[in-house]
Structure 1
Amino acid sequence: MLFAELCYQIFEESTSCYHQKDCVDAEMVNPYEYKSIEYYLFLKNWIDAIQWHLEDMIRELDIEPVKALEIKRRIDQLNQRRTDLVELLDGYFWNKYKDVKTLSSATVNTESPAWAIDRLSILCLKIYHMSQETQRGEVTQVHVKACEDKLSVLLEQKRDLIRAIDQLLDDIETGHKYMKVYKQMKMYNDPELNPVLYRKGQEL
């Protein structure tokens, strides 16, 4: 099994496990060895699933402002964890391919392998939820058909993305592409870089 297919298989497993409880506060039971690449892939999708459902909750029309702020801050925290995990996964690929001799004609990709895998995790959740929409009994057939059409596109996107990720990894392994990893440097989370936060600190 190629790596991207393995990723998707683990993402499906995580998505299924999450929806057995379907609760943003549910405790994750990760079946993989701690700190293994499979463990981090499962964790990655679990975090994405929680964030997906928090994004749904915060859009409730009559949500109380205090509750909305609580959810928004939790989403921000998850975003940071998601970024940290992506960078950890890129570290895995960096170490794996650090001794590969790149060809003089080698080029850099527009995104790193882990950020492409991040998109695959989100795509897995989209496919799950769109599939659920096709099975709703209380909606019109027009709605079901529209969702079936969207699901078909998502499944095609899944196939293309899996193929593209595995091609990218093969190109890096054979020296046709090389990795460059940039830290995301999210400024709004940093009290020394977010002007709203550091100005507040200066006033105290």
Structure 2
Amino acid sequence: MTNNDPKTQYNGIILLTSYLQRVFVAETIYQRVKKGHLGIRYSEAKALLDETYTILPVVEKTKQLSVAQKAQLQLITEKTLALMKGYFKQMPLSFNDKLALVGSSLYGEQMMNNGVIRLGKLFNVEVNKDFHMRTQFYEDRTKMVDFLVNSIHHNEQPDVNLVKPIETWVVDILRQKDYVLADMNKISEMIGF
């Protein structure tokens, strides 16, 4: 597949969107659980997501990227790369930091999973059934994260049975940190700029 292949480009946009979702959800969680958290990164991630969401339906309809859309996506990708540089916080991590990292990773992966399923429908490509099977997995885990965030936001003691998985999952996410950051470099190649 070349850089002008519509499926590859669409997949690149999905990957970009999943990274924006990571930053957006992490910042949303910080706003909910940390008193006085400045939402500068939140506002920037939301604006970039909104911008990407204006391009996505057009690409889904036309199944191609215009020169202007490609240029816009290149700027969005550069800004997303800058945001991702501050995504992983310095150690040691507080529980709120771990919750933001786990929650945003789950939401980002859920977006990527759903995007791949959508890609299959749009381009009439068979998608591995694992993607369909993961839908419920992500739904259950994001609900759990939402519940924890809501508990902390309302100054309630989080359920220990919900805290334990966060502690376990954050270790896996931190182990994949280099891969997560390196994977972002595929976006420009996939979209073709």
TM-score in terms of structure 1 length: 0.37
The structure showing larger relative contact order (alpha-carbon pairs under 8 Å, at least 6 residues apart) is: 2
Structure showing the higher helix proportion among its residues: 2
TM-score in terms of structure 2 length: 0.39
Which protein has the larger Cα radius of gyration, Structure 1 or Structure 2?
1
